[in-house]
A and B are shown apart, each in its own frame.
Chain A
Amino acid sequence: MESSSENQQTPDLLLKLAQQLSPTKDIVQTTLQVEGKQAFVLYLKSAVDEIVLHKTVVKPFYETATLEVYASYLDSAPNKKELADEQSILINLTRGNVLVAVQQQYFLLEIRNVGFDEVQQITLEPTIHGAQLGLSESIEVSMNVIRQRYHQPSLVFDTMELKDQSNRAIALVYDKVLVNPRALQLIRKRLENLDFPLILSSGDLQLYLNGNKKSLFPSCMLTERPDRLVYNISSGKIIILVDGSPHAVIAPVVFFDFMISMEDMYHGYWISLLTLFLRYSGLFACIVLPALYVGVTSYTPDVFRTELALTVAASRIGVPYPSYIEVFFMLIFIEFLTEASIRLPTPISATATTVGGLILGTAAVEAALTSNIMIIVVSLVAVSTFVIPINELGFAVRGLRFILLLYTTFFGLAGLAIGLLGIVLFLANKESFGVAYLKLGWKNRTKELGTGKG
C-alpha cells in the first residue's frame, strides 16, 4: 500500500472518503508531485484498470505544463462523471471510478476494470442459424452488442441504479418511437418502488418486477439472444439489462412469445409453420396426456376404440393401485430425473438419465408397478416438455399438468375439458405490465374492443 496520508495538503474530502472506506486494504490514495505541482488521487485498486489509469491520469500530469492545463485536460476527459453527494461518490468509487483533486477541483473519472466483459456463448436457446454469441456480464458490452445490431437513432439506453445493497447499474433499452408507453411507465414505477434488500441478477429482478410473486406463469422473459432482443425492441417492447448478468429481461410479454424460437425467423414459411405446429402440439400433449390417461383408464374407458381400451386394460393387469397414483408416481419420478440431470455436471447426468430412465423404467414395468403404456405416456410428456423453447414456460407447464391431473382425478373426462378451459380463462385474465397475456392479435381487433372505465 503506497499510502501517503501524512501529506498535510491532502484535501479533506479525500481523507474523509478514505476513512469511510477503510479498513479495506485496496484503497489507494496517492499524491502526484513534480516541481511544485500537486494532484491527489483516490481509488480502489480492485475495481480500477491501473494501466489505463497510468496512461490517462498519471502520465499527462507530468507532461502538462501547468496545473490549469492538467485540470482542463481532466475536465474534458470522455469518461468524466458528474459529482454528486459524498454517498454517491463512495458508491462510484466502489464501482471503479477514480477521484482526482487538482487545486480544490474534483474530478471523477470512470476507469473500470471489468474482468467478465467477454461476450458469452449462447447455451440456453441454441439455434442452428442465427447469432451464436449472446450478451456479456458487463452491462457496457451488452449495450454495445445491442447498439451494434440495431442502428436507429431512436434507440434509448436509460441507465439507472438499483436501490438495493448491490447498487448495481441497470439499463432500460427501448425504441422511443415504437415503445408501448403505458408499459414503460409501469416498469419505471415498479423499478422506483422496488423494495428488496438484495437483487442478484436479472432472474430475480424479473420476479420482483412482476408485482405478483406467486404467479405460476412468467410475466417477463429472460433471454440471452441478441437477435431476440432486437426483434423485441423493434416490436415495441422494453429490455432491462442488469450489470453482471448475461441475461436480459424482456417485458411486457404475451403467452405466444414463449412459444417462438428465433429459429422460426430463419426458416421458410412452411418449415416454421410446421415447427410451430409441432411445438403447440407438444405443449398440448405434455399438459393433457397424464390427465387423459387417468380420465380414460379410471372413468370412461369406452372413449377410445375397443381395441385400444383393451390394450390399455391389458397392460394394466397386475398394477396394484388406481391409475392416478400410478400417474403421480411416474410423473414425480420423471421430474426427479429432469431435475437431477439439470443440476449435475454433464458427464454424471448422462449416467443418471440412463440408470433412471432406461433401467428403472424397464424394471418398474417388469415388477408390475406401472403399465407399459404409462411409461410411454410419461416419456412422451418428458420429451414434449422440452419442445417448449423457453425454459420458464417449460417450468410453468410442468406445474400446470399436475393441477390438471388433480382436476381430472376428481371429476373425470369432463373435468379435463373444463380444466383446459380454466387454463385459457386463467391465462386470459393474466396481465403482463398492462398487456393481456393471452389474446388473439388480429387486425382491427383492438379497435373493436375498446376501453370503458374499469
Chain B
Amino acid sequence: MNRFLYYFIILNMIVNIVVEVPKILIDYSHQGAITSIIFALIIGASLTWIIIKLFRPFPGRSLPELLELYTPNWLNKLVLLYFSLNWFIAGSLSITTFTLLLKRFLTPEMSSYIILSSFVVLVSYGVLMKTRSLLNSMEIIMILNIPIVVFLIAKVYLDEAMDWDYVKVAMTYVNNWPNYSAVTAALYPLIGIVNIIIFNRYLISKMDMRLKQLFIVFLTGALILFTTFFIPLGYIGFGISENIQYPWILTSDSVRLKYGLIERFIFIFLLIFLSLSFLNITIHWHVAQKLFEAFYRSKKLIVKGKDLNPYLWLVLFWGITFLVAGRMTEYQLFLLGKYFFNQQPLFLIVLIGSLMLINRGAKKKWAKSAE
C-alpha cells in the first residue's frame, strides 16, 4: 500500500485518541462500548479496503474530477457540497477542541480568540499550499512525531499508576449489544482513508490493499481503540471516568517523568498532539477547500490572473470558526461532536454510493468507446 495512505490512516487514528472519542466511549462503558469497538473495527477496516478498491481504476484522479466525468451534474454538485461541509466541520471541530483544550490546560489566561488566531496564519498557509508540498510536509511531521507518540503511549502503559483491575472490570461488560453512538465514535478514528478523495490525484503506484495491509490497518486500529478506551479507565477508575470531560488529559497528567527535562507528562502530550492535530486540521481544510472550489468557482474573483477563490473560502472558514468556536462551551462542543459522529454512516453511504456510480459510469463509457 502506498505509504501516504498509511500516513492518512494512522494520523487520523492518533489524533482522535485524545478528546471526543474516548469521552463518548467511556460514557457508554456500561452499555456495550467493547462490542461497539469490535464492530467499528470490522466496519472501519472493510471500509478502508472498499474505498481503496473503488479508487483503484482511477490513478491520479481526484473525486471531483471523477464526479464531473461520470455522474449527472445535479447529483455531482449536491454530493460535493455535502462532502465539503463534512470536511469543513471536521476541521472546525478539531480547531475548537484544541482551542478549548489549550485554554483549559496550557494558557488559561488567554482569550479563546487569541488562541484561535494562533492557528489562522499557518493553517491558512497549509491550506493554500500545493497539495504535493502538503504531502511532503505531512511525511516529515509524522516521521518526527510518531516516535514520540510511541514513547508516550508506551510510558502510559508501563506506568505504575495504571491499574489493570479496572480494565478487567470494564472487560466484564463485553456481553452488551453495541450502541449506535459508540460505534460511530469508534468508527471515526478508523476512516482516515477518506482523505484519498483529493490526494488520490498525487498518489500513483501501489494503490492496492491486500490481506497483509488489511491486517496491519486492523491491528493498529485495534491497538489505538484499546488504548483510547481502556487506559483512562485504568488511571481514573471504572465508573468514575464518566464524570470527567477530558479523561485522556487527566490520565496524561497522572504520569510523571521522573528523570526527564520536562517532568509533567501532560505538556509533552499536549504539544505533540497539538502538532498532529494541526496537521490533521490543515489536511481536512485543504480537502474542504478543494471540494468547495470544485463545487463553486466564481470567474469574477480572478483578478489580474490571480485566482482569489481559495481566499474567499478561507475567509468563510475562519469567519464561521471564529463565530462558533469563540463562544462554545465544552459541553456544546461535545454534543456537536457526537451529532457529527452520528451522521457519519450517511456520509460513508454517500461516499461509497457515489464511488460505485462513478465506477458504473466509467464502465459504460469505456464500453461505448470500445464499440
Q: Hey, which bits of chain A sit against chain B, CB under 8 A?
A: 299-300, 302-306, 407, 410-415, 417-422, 424-429, 436, 438-440, 445, 447-452
> Would you list 30 pairs from A and B whose C-beta atoms are within 8 A, ordered by A residue?
A300-B106, A303-B267, A304-B261, A306-B263, A407-B118, A411-B114, A411-B115, A411-B117, A412-B110, A413-B107, A414-B115, A417-B271, A417-B275, A424-B141, A425-B133, A425-B134, A425-B137, A429-B130, A439-B139, A447-B205, A448-B3, A448-B205, A449-B4, A449-B132, A449-B135, A449-B136, A449-B204, A450-B60, A450-B204, A452-B202
Closest 3 CB pairs of A and B: A450-B204, A428-B137, A411-B118
- The reply to whether the CB of B126 lies closer than 8 angstroms to some CB of chain A is yes
Q: Are A450 and B59 in contact (CB under 8 A)?
A: yes
Known: A414-B118, A426-B125. A448 touches B2 (CB 8 A): yes
New contact pairs (15) apart from A418-B118, A429-B130, A439-B139, CB-CB < 8 Å: A303-B264, A303-B267, A410-B114, A411-B118, A414-B118, A418-B278, A420-B275, A421-B122, A421-B278, A428-B133, A438-B136, A439-B140, A448-B204, A450-B202, A451-B204
Taking CB atoms, residues of chain A closer than 8 Å to B2 are: 448
Taking CB atoms, residues of chain B closer than 8 Å to A303 are: 262, 264, 267
Q: Are A422 and B140 in contact (CB under 8 A)?
A: no
Q: Determine the distance from Cα of A382 to Cα of B247 in the docked complex, in whole angstroms.
A: 43
Q: Determine the distance from Cα of A81 to Cα of B117 in the docked complex, in whole angstroms.
A: 65
- The reply to whether the CB of B167 lies closer than 8 angstroms to some CB of chain A is no
Known: A418-B119, A428-B140, A449-B203. A436 touches B132 (CB 8 A): yes
Q: Are A436 and B107 in contact (CB under 8 A)?
A: no
- The reply to whether the CB of B201 lies closer than 8 angstroms to some CB of chain A is yes
Taking CB atoms, residues of chain B closer than 8 Å to A428 are: 129, 133-134, 136-137, 140
Taking CB atoms, residues of chain B closer than 8 Å to A448 are: 2-4, 203-206
User: Of residues A306, A407, A426, which shows the largest number of chain B Cβ atoms within 10 Å of its Cβ?
Assistant: A426
User: Of residues A299, A425, A449, A450, which shows the largest number of chain B Cβ atoms within 10 Å of its Cβ?
Assistant: A425
Q: How distant is B73 from chain A, measured CB to nearest CB, in Å? A: 22
Dominant secondary structure at the A interface: helix
Q: Are A417 and B203 in contact (CB under 8 A)?
A: no
Taking CB atoms, residues of chain B closer than 8 Å to A306 are: 263
Residue of B nearest to A308 (CB): B261
Known: A412-B107, A414-B107, A415-B118. A421 touches B141 (CB 8 A): yes
Of the candidates B4, B121, B140, the one whose C-beta lies within 8 Å of that of A424 is B140
Taking CB atoms, residues of chain A closer than 8 Å to B350 are: none
Q: Are B106 and A413 in contact (CB under 8 A)?
A: yes
Taking CB atoms, residues of chain B closer than 8 Å to A413 are: 106-107, 267, 271
Taking CB atoms, residues of chain B closer than 8 Å to A438 are: 136-137, 140
Taking CB atoms, residues of chain B closer than 8 Å to A421 are: 122, 141, 275, 278-279
Q: Are A419 and B122 in contact (CB under 8 A)?
A: yes
In B2-26, the 8 Å CB interface with A consists of 2-4
Q: Are B263 and A304 in contact (CB under 8 A)?
A: yes
In B176-230, the 8 Å CB interface with A consists of 201-206
In B69-123, the 8 Å CB interface with A consists of 102, 106-107, 110, 114-115, 117-119, 121-122
Q: Are A429 and B267 in contact (CB under 8 A)?
A: no
Taking CB atoms, residues of chain B closer than 8 Å to A407 are: 118
- The reply to whether the CB of B161 lies closer than 8 angstroms to some CB of chain A is no
Q: Determine the distance from Cα of A410 to Cα of B267 in the docked complex, in whole angstroms.
A: 19
- The reply to whether the CB of B38 lies closer than 8 angstroms to some CB of chain A is no
Q: Are B102 and A414 in contact (CB under 8 A)?
A: yes
Residue of B nearest to A306 (CB): B263
Taking CB atoms, residues of chain B closer than 8 Å to A429 are: 125, 129-130, 133, 137
Q: Determine the distance from Cα of A422 to Cα of B124 in the docked complex, in whole angstroms.
A: 10
Q: How distant is B287 from chain A, measured CB to nearest CB, in Å? A: 15
Residue of A nearest to B257 (CB): A305
Q: How distant is A211 from chain B, measured CB to nearest CB, in Å? A: 16
Q: Are B143 and A440 in contact (CB under 8 A)?
A: yes
Q: Are B136 and A305 in contact (CB under 8 A)?
A: no
Of the candidates A411, A420, A425, the one whose C-beta lies within 8 Å of that of B126 is A425
Q: Determine the distance from Cα of A348 to Cα of B278 in the docked complex, in whole angstroms.
A: 49
Known: A425-B126, A452-B201. A305 touches B102 (CB 8 A): no
- The reply to whether the CB of B66 lies closer than 8 angstroms to some CB of chain A is no
Residue of B nearest to A305 (CB): B263
Known: A304-B263, A421-B141. A439 touches B136 (CB 8 A): yes
Residue of B nearest to A416 (CB): B271
Taking CB atoms, residues of chain A closer than 8 Å to B102 are: 414
Over the window 269-306 of chain B, the binary record of Cβ atoms lying under 8 Å from chain A Cβ atoms (1 yes, 0 no) is 00100110011001000000000000000000000000
Of the candidates A305, A424, A450, the one whose C-beta lies within 8 Å of that of B137 is A424
Known: A414-B271, A417-B275, A452-B60. A436 touches B202 (CB 8 A): no
Taking CB atoms, residues of chain A closer than 8 Å to B263 are: 304-306
Taking CB atoms, residues of chain B closer than 8 Å to A302 are: 264
Q: Determine the distance from Cα of A415 to Cα of B121 in the docked complex, in whole angstroms.
A: 11
Q: Are B122 and A418 in contact (CB under 8 A)?
A: yes
Q: Determine the distance from Cα of A10 to Cα of B318 in the docked complex, in whole angstroms.
A: 80
Taking CB atoms, residues of chain A closer than 8 Å to B130 are: 429
Q: Are A422 and B121 in contact (CB under 8 A)?
A: yes
Q: Are A436 and B60 in contact (CB under 8 A)?
A: no
Known: A300-B106, A302-B264, A418-B278. A440 touches B139 (CB 8 A): yes
Q: Determine the distance from Cα of A124 to Cα of B206 in the docked complex, in whole angstroms.
A: 46
Q: How distant is B314 from chain A, measured CB to nearest CB, in Å? A: 15
